[in-house]
A and B are shown apart, each in its own frame.
Chain A
Amino acid sequence: MPSGGIARHPWVERYAPLATTLLALLVIWYVAAVAMNLSLVRGGFEREETAYTLTDLISGTMSAERPLLPAPHQVAYAFLDGVFGYPPLAPRSLIYHSLVTITATLLGFVLGALLGIVLALMIVHSRVLERSLMPWIICSQMVPILALAPIFIVVLGALGLHGLLPKSIISAYLCFFPIAIGMVKGFTSPDPLQMELMRTWSATPRQMLWKLRWPSAVPYLFASLKVAITISLIGAIVAELPTGAEAGIGARLLAGSYYGQTIQIWAALVASAVLASGLIGIVGLVERGVARRMGAH
């Protein structure tokens, strides 16, 4: 079909909406960068008492060293430079910092997932535990983590724990919650008829769990894992702030804000966004593989 051939191409159909929003976002970002950095740049020219034109002003907003809002290309350059400009384990490399953060994230995620699943199992199997545990689980999430993190670090530090583990614990503290809630829902999701069938076969509680409750909970598991993995990344980054960590995305953010290095902050933000989407992507891939094996259509 010649007419509308390109517009109907599957790639176009799939990526055009994404590209359009990205483009719009870039335009808005550039306009905002000019507007926000204008007075800064003008102030600079006036302090140095040099003459300037509108073109000088605008190009100044695009290349300021410490802009209020860095232009997209500045962020992109800083990000790419951070990734490719140094050997991966150099202290200025974003790869190095990402690795530090991701280690804490993954450890926290695994701990949190295990804790969440164990809590959900306990809650599903005992009415008493449901009554006694559930309020505490909910309470745990009502305290802002920014307030809790330093306390955790201090307490764990007094116990002789430094570095990776305290960060992972904070990350786990955040991410167990969606998993516990999701898995309680998941473990109780089997159809009543399926439960009764198992009963007519005199299935043991363990068989009930492995052959019915667990497989029924799988969709809920992946939904909550996706939420949990981004939260555990945030937890790891937040945990790096009060420790004054020397490495990690959080450390880059902190250092950037100490020295007014806005571009560095933004580059670190981009790095964390890339990490988060990568992590979600991996969970999504695993989910698809599992769903296929479980007969999804």
Chain B
Amino acid sequence: MLISTEPEARQRPEGDGASVSPSNPAAADAAAVQPSPKRLVVDVQNISLTFETADGRLDALSNVSLQIFDGEFVSFIGPSGCGKTTMLRVIADLQQPSSGTLLVNGMSAENARLARSYGYVFQAPALFPWRTIENNLKLPLEIMGFSEADQQQRVERYLSLVNLTGFERKFPWQLSGGMQQRVSIARALSFDPAMLLMDEPFGALDEIVRDHLNEQLLQLWKSTEKTVLFVTHSIPEAVFLSSKIVVMSPRPGRIIDIIDCDFPRDRSLEIRETPEFLKIAQRVRTGLRAGHAYDE
């Protein structure tokens, strides 16, 4: 059994023994607005994951602990191989940890998956090319046994949520990359999961489209109040979107810093020019650099 008590875990949600003090100026005034005790959605305790590869053992995750509360927007940032994608996949039960405990919505990751607790967005839209946009949105709903009328209603609601009303009958190849990715976000939301897991969803898109989608994603987050777990390797993206930033480092994959980032929910792109923003970005950058110095 784990010895660490819950409240303590909540206050010190970092891995690898690195001490973190979650203090920053933006957090102070936002804290007043936040309704305090939030429900724990993801509870990761001392998780490790080791791959056996041809080149030997690879520690994708080493002794990682993390708590995520209802309604948070948590970004995972770090160089490739730091385990940020693995982290998301473990939470999604696409991969199983070698050791440690993991609770999602108070259940095991497998039960959480079976209970359809999350929608997953990959870097590629992964739409089904033989289905129209409408039918792509319906796919998870068909699988989960939603009624025909409900399916239709949800298609309308979620297509308009990502500003794609009117594209119902189009096939994926008729849409741009950014539009396709919006469809895949709508698809992930369509069955109203508690969490949205996003693995570098805008990584393949150009800067302008990415900015635009970042703003839309924030609006979605604000209007749906979902818990979002977001993997990225862009510092500005992470700081702009998140309420919490998890900085990770490779070999072995671990968390080296957790930064609270409590700009108001309806932030605009302009906040990227403010000193608070730059300060947090600087702290993320320092963390990333420290992670690198660790093994060179």
Q: Which residues of A contact B (CB under 8 A)?
A: 191, 193-194, 196-203, 207, 211-212, 215, 218, 294-295, 297
Interface size on B, residues (CB 8 A): 26
Alpha-carbon distance between A193 and B191 when the two chains are bound, in angstroms = 19
Q: In the complex where A196-B94, A200-B92, A202-B116 touch, is A294 in contact with B126 (Cβ < 8 A)? A: no
**Residues of the B chain whose Cβ atoms lie less than 8 Å from the Cβ of A295:** 129-132, 171-173
Asked if A197 and B116 sit within 8 Å, CB to CB, the answer is no
**Residues of the B chain whose Cβ atoms lie less than 8 Å from the Cβ of A191:** 126
Alpha-carbon distance between A202 and B120 when the two chains are bound, in angstroms = 12
A183, chain B: closest CB distance, angstroms = 17
**Residues of the A chain whose Cβ atoms lie less than 8 Å from the Cβ of B120:** 196-197, 200
Alpha-carbon distance between A215 and B132 when the two chains are bound, in angstroms = 13
* Subset of 9 A-B contacts with CB under 8 Å: A193-B126, A197-B122, A198-B143, A199-B94, A200-B92, A203-B143, A211-B143, A215-B128, A295-B131
B238, chain A: closest CB distance, angstroms = 23
**Residues of the B chain whose Cβ atoms lie less than 8 Å from the Cβ of A196:** 94, 120, 122
**Residues of the A chain whose Cβ atoms lie less than 8 Å from the Cβ of B132:** 295
Most chain A CB inside 10 Å of its own CB: which residue of B113, B114, B191: B113
B94, chain A: closest CB distance, angstroms = 6
Alpha-carbon distance between A229 and B83 when the two chains are bound, in angstroms = 51
Q: Does B124 contact A (CB under 8 A)?
A: yes
Known: A201-B144, A295-B132. 16 other contacts (CB 8 A): A191-B126, A200-B92, A200-B113, A200-B119, A202-B113, A202-B143, A211-B139, A211-B142, A211-B143, A212-B128, A215-B128, A218-B130, A294-B129, A295-B130, A295-B172, A297-B171
Contacts across chains A and B counted by CB atoms under 8 Å: 53
Alpha-carbon distance between A95 and B267 when the two chains are bound, in angstroms = 78
Alpha-carbon distance between A194 and B184 when the two chains are bound, in angstroms = 11
Please pick, from B94, B128, B173, the residue contacting A297 in the complex, using a CB distance under 8 A: B173
Most chain B CB inside 10 Å of its own CB: which residue of A197, A203, A215, A218: A197
Alpha-carbon distance between A130 and B23 when the two chains are bound, in angstroms = 58
Q: Which residues of B contact A (CB under 8 A)?
A: 92, 94, 113-114, 116, 118-120, 122, 124, 126, 128-132, 139-140, 142-144, 171-174, 191
Asked if A200 and B118 sit within 8 Å, CB to CB, the answer is yes
**Residues of the A chain whose Cβ atoms lie less than 8 Å from the Cβ of B94:** 196, 199-200
**Residues of the A chain whose Cβ atoms lie less than 8 Å from the Cβ of B129:** 294-295
Most chain A CB inside 10 Å of its own CB: which residue of B94, B114, B124, B128: B128
Residue of A nearest to B131 (CB): A295
Which 7 residue pairs spanning A and B have beta carbons closest together? A295-B171, A294-B130, A193-B126, A200-B120, A201-B140, A201-B143, A203-B143
Most chain B CB inside 10 Å of its own CB: which residue of A193, A198, A207, A215: A193
Alpha-carbon distance between A211 and B142 when the two chains are bound, in angstroms = 10
Asked if A194 and B92 sit within 8 Å, CB to CB, the answer is no
Alpha-carbon distance between A191 and B123 when the two chains are bound, in angstroms = 13
Alpha-carbon distance between A197 and B191 when the two chains are bound, in angstroms = 13
A207, chain B: closest CB distance, angstroms = 5
